[in-house]
Structure 1
């Protein structure tokens, strides 16, 4: 995903929204009817974001999920006052993105998906350059540089060239750089892309420390469904519209039933046998995972299903029951998978 510091598309209908009022108390981000449209060379208009209503509380870790092209980066660009909304309103860190864009930019931090560090400067030099760009005074630059290096657990690497740091260290350094001016909201665009599992875990430990020690508001976009489990709440966006939002447990509860998967010696015949045994509103499907269906309390159903197959001489090689995933939620609302190609009937 790419974010652009400038957006030359003029706003067609957007007007300056009211300044932050009592309804925004306790909110780090609030949007109502936020729209971003682009006009193509042939004169046609495409809506990248369509009527976004979103509230993020102060001190919250919020995940923004969706496939490529869903509108995640466009939304962040508007919330950071780097792109002007076509219509609607948004306040971020107490400032209006239309009426007070400069205040918004000074109150937020933005971690891009791809590294913006200078590999030929030391970790400390990279931080000092960034701090000066934000207008911090020399004494404050020294103090804040030391503080964020300590927070990132990189004090002992302050004089190391960035090119000598591991991928995880560089990511922690980039997060530290965005904290120099003490932003009210920190936006992180795919913060762990390209990192190995250990480095990903270290980055999330670092983010949890930020939240717990400083009460930071974190707005995270990610393709990793498991990373949303680290967050207090999440929103799933598809084709510019929100399709689900709430706590990870809450949005999964919308699906309710467990996913039961059986691997048998003859999945096609097993499907025929089990069809009459399950409730009439449930279907049995077969895909690369094996034979599967959705049932309440799936673990309790497994012995019954296996016994029925045994009677018909069909061997069961494995059986499992798992609760709904966030990908299941996405499929439930869109008919498509966040994790890969389209699937039929609700299976991977």
Structure 2
């Protein structure tokens, strides 16, 4: 079968995004052929494009997609033609604890081709069903950003109703975390440099908002908002420029989910205060297939629709990357392959 896909080709300063035709191989017994309906971008994809994540020339980028099953291998019983499915970020992390070998199965990274294609082939065990109430475009926002937020708040964070959550920014992980936490009865604080984005966050259910350009000491503001108790959960998305403030804002017994590197990879905060707060830091690197299934069950129960800022045509993928780099989006950027 002949199909169009994108590849990254080595250039002088960064990889170039190119389209190419390829012949898809015959399905192995445990594999599934999927017609991709949509894919979405994450900050990781910008890093891959610029060769900051061990990118190889010829790689098909992006990790997040949703589509429709066209055919299944001879041993596949859980899927059939016509099913709507989405591949997990880590194709080999099905359940249980994360293992070193799982890292190599991350889609759209150094070792495993991704999903920016008209058709992909995936292992049957790496797929989850798309919730009936979601479009393929909405489902395509979930494998990285949605699962990361779910893993941080519920699998490792054990979020309870009435607790406070602080999320940094208004990107994909942050807005999905806002929606999930609000649905669970938590009080969510959102930080951003844009009053317009903060207004939109309040409409999504944010309890409080902080413009960190106007109030650089957002950690002190968060403490005031919680009457000095501190925040129960912080999704740490910024990195070196935000970490010290997160350590100050976290409450006694609180949990910081270490997720983002928006300001770099060299966060080296003074973590002694965590000891005397009996607080913890959880490293979060997306999640497993089972995490994804439980996320989808929660989304279905609460009828949550992920926020999509803009959609791009398949032949306009370069513009989607440019928009991602500009960081002006609210929620997710999606590329439609239809």
Q: Which is helix-richer, 1 or 2?
A: 1
TM-score > 0.5, shorter chain as reference? no
Structure 1 length normalisation: TM-score? 0.26
Structure 2 length normalisation: TM-score? 0.26
Of the two, which has the highest radius of gyration?
1
